[in-house]
Structure 1
Amino acid sequence: MRVTGQACPRRRDGQGCAPVNEVVVGAGQNAGPEGYAACSCGRRFPLPPAARRRLDAVAAGCRAVPPATAEPAAARALDSLLERVVRPAEPTSRLSRPGVVPVGAPVLHRPTQPVGVISPGLVRFALHMASVMRAAGGVGLAANQAGAPVRMLAHDLGRIVPQILVDPRVVGSHGTWTYGEGCLSLRVDDATADVVRPKVVTVVATLLDGRVLAVRADEVLARVLQHEVDHLDGIVYVQRLVGAEREAVLASVERAGGDLASLPPRPHGV
């Protein structure tokens, strides 16, 4: 189904609203299963039966992250870690937004570890991440950008899918799409660049309420999820640049006093 008419406030080139994202959220203690399609602006549409069956199968293969009551020792260990490593919201770096770890910090260039359990401290940390992201004017933030080496992300497209995703994984992709990207960890003039990524990705994750999410994301949501999952894998968008554009951004970082030693000498995947 495609809906045309008034231009969508979020899509490019004056396109009308359309159900470009497909979402299934599993049942939980306080909520039943949910399925819908959504435009990039968040407007919702019915989810076609074939898409529902496809995403139900994807969600069935994803194990939900358990609550703290199921694994209390793991929850205590996670909360202790978060208390030690989370970056306060106030300190600033000349290279990043307030409360955000700058490019060059080791935590940003190492793969994060699965969360494993939804603890009280994790929920508090999620609220902290969302607050830092909003204050910085960002559309996404990975946990290691806030100092914690755990696999969780926040985004500002909550009208499409819930804002906090725990242990997200990309399980499928197709197409290509070039889109301009910047980063809250790299507040440097002339650092925004066009990045080529898959246009459509299928992502699975657990929500803070313990339900499993499966989403076939397109356009802006797909771009934001890929950028933040890259962070969780220890990859920054600069690593995906090639040629003259890569050299120009690296030169900008160097002029600003950024540490390039953490960035591999060759583009990611080359």
Structure 2
Amino acid sequence: MSVLPLLQFPDPRLRLPSQDVTDFDSALTSLAQNLEDTMRAAPGIGITAAHVGVLQRLTVIDLNDGVGVRCFCNPHIVWSSPETAGHTEGSVSMPNVTEEITRPQRVRIRYQDMTGKPQELDADGLLSVCLQHEIDQMDGIFWIYRLSRLKRDRLIKRYQKM
């Protein structure tokens, strides 16, 4: 497969919402495989089609936890826990900078698998964080916009100096 070029912050396409996947075909399978290759090369543990300029609701996640690569089409959060936790986050589209983001500890998502079959998943821990992060990206919310303005401005300045 192929490593695709990544959009880099501040590319305005990173702030655009993605459209639902409607065709569950060989082109989608190829895109998912290319996203996996691109994620590994970045390196990262999660990536969306939006990171490579394809505005479809597809994310690929591999937490190196023995489960393997997970692909989620059209994921949406349908429930989140009231309990929150902070976790260090970053992006393949803004390499070498991270910051702590506070998010719900657990989420339930509805999505479709690569064949289009509806699925539901309860997630906690790192998977919960990754799903929330990638769903934000597909909604056009780049991760740094979850930071306070002061933290975001400092992080952007640090990134620009690199």
When the two structures are superposed, what TM-score results if normalisation uses the length of structure 1?
A: 0.55
Identity %: 28
Change (3 A) 1:173 1:105: same
1:110 aligns to what?
16
2:145 corresponding residue in structure 1 = 239
* Secondary structure of the corresponding residue to residue 192 of structure 1: strand
Give yes or no for the alignment of 1:149 onto 2:52: no
The question of 1:131 aligning with 2:131 is answered: no
Please list, as runs of the form range in 1=range in 2, the aligned pairs for 1:216-255 lying within 5 A after superposition.
216-242=122-148, 244-255=150-161
1:253 Cα shift? 2.8
Task: Report the 3-state secondary structure (helix = DSSP H, G, I; strand = E; otherwise coil) of the residue aligned with 1:187.
Answer: strand
Structure 1 residue runs of 5 or longer lacking an equivalent are 1-87, 91-98, 257-270
1:53-111 Cα offsets, whole Å, 9 max, x none, are xxxxxxxxxxxxxxxxxxxxxxxxxxxxxxxxxxx736xxxxxxxx2211122321100
**Distance in 2 between the 1:255 and 1:212 partners?**
44
Partner of residue 87, structure 2: 179
How many residues matched?
159
Label 1:129 to 1:139 Cα distance change in 2 as closer, same or farther (>3 A).
same
Deviations 1:125-156 (A, max 9, x none): 11100111112221000111022011110000
Q: Relative contact order: is structure 1 or structure 2 higher (C-alpha 8 Å, sep ≥ 6)?
A: 2
Note the alpha carbon deviations across 1:37-64, whole angstroms, 9 max, x for none. Answer: xxxxxxxxxxxxxxxxxxxxxxxxxxxx
TM-score for the superposition, normalised by structure 2: 0.89
Find the aligned partners of 1:187 and 1:128 in 2 and give their Cα distance: 19
- 1:129–1:177: structure 2 CA closer, same or farther, 3 Å change rule? same
Which residue identity does 1:182 align to in structure 2?
A: G
- Amino acid paired to 1:169: H
Residue 236 of structure 1: how far off its partner (Å): 1.2
Shift of 1:173: 0.2
* Aligned-partner Cα distance in 1 for 2:12–2:25: 25
Alignment of 1:168 with 2:75, yes or no, is yes
1:144–1:105 Cα change, 3 Å:
same
Contact 2:59 2:71 (C-alpha < 8 Å) held by counterparts = yes
Q: How does 1:1-270 map to 2 (within 5 A)?
A: 89=3, 99-157=5-63, 159-160=66-67, 163-174=70-81, 175-188=83-96, 191-242=97-148, 244-256=150-162
In the other structure, the counterpart of 1:57 is none
Secondary structure at 1:124 match in 2: helix
Over 3 Å counting, the alpha-carbon distance change for 1:185 and 1:149 in structure 2 is: same
Greater Rg over alpha carbons, structure: 1
Return the offset for 1:160. Answer: 4.6
Shift of 1:244: 4.0
C-alpha deviations, 1:149-181, integer Å up to 9, x for none?
111100003745861111111111012110111
Higher strand share: 2
How far, CA to CA, are the matches of 2:110 and 2:135 in structure 1? 11
Rounded to whole Å, the distance in 2 between the matches of 1:129 and 1:243 is: 31
